[in-house]
Amino acid sequence: MLPVGPGPMSSGSDFKDLIEFIIGAFIEPIIYLILGLAVVYFMWNITEVIRKGDNPEELAKLKGKAFWGVVAIAVMVSLWGLVAILTNTFFTDLTPSNPIPFIPAS
């Protein structure tokens, strides 16, 4: 099917618009979803460590799972940063779709 109406490939768009669309519509939501799943996985393993802390064999397995949860979170945050670096390097006039909150200087 051909796209109908305004979209990434409508008239007047170029490669930059296509990349902006791909990042905004696909890559950012996927990163947010996987990061959220990694945080839930990590928190679940921490609650299991607390619940089953008296069993040394189970505790060792759960600590390993918690470690991989931390690794997954670190990888996703790194990918989020990499996308931001690439976007800011090649498309300097873009504003982030979800800007980082800050307290303005007085």
What percentage of the chain exceeds 70 in pLDDT? 78
- Name the band, by pLDDT with cuts 50, 70 and 90, for residue 2: very low
> What does DSSP assign to residue 103?
P
- Averaged pLDDT for residues 91-105: 68
What tokens does 74 get? 């670190």
> What does DSSP assign to residue 53?
T
How far is it, in rounded angstroms, from Cα 85 to Cα 79? Answer: 10
**Quick one: pLDDT at residue 10?**
52
* Domain extents in the chain: 28-87
The alpha-helical segments, DSSP class H, found in the chain are 15-22, 28-51, 56-90
Sign of the CA dihedral running 31, 33, 38, 39:
positive
- Averaged pLDDT for residues 31-57: 85
Q: Is the pLDDT of residue 30 over 50?
A: yes
51-90 pLDDT, tens digit each: 887 888 888 888 888 888 888 888 888 888 887 887 778 7
**Quick one: pLDDT at residue 1?**
47
**Quick one: pLDDT at residue 98?**
67
Cβ-contact 3, 9 below 8 angstroms: yes
The SS3 call for residue 95 is: coil
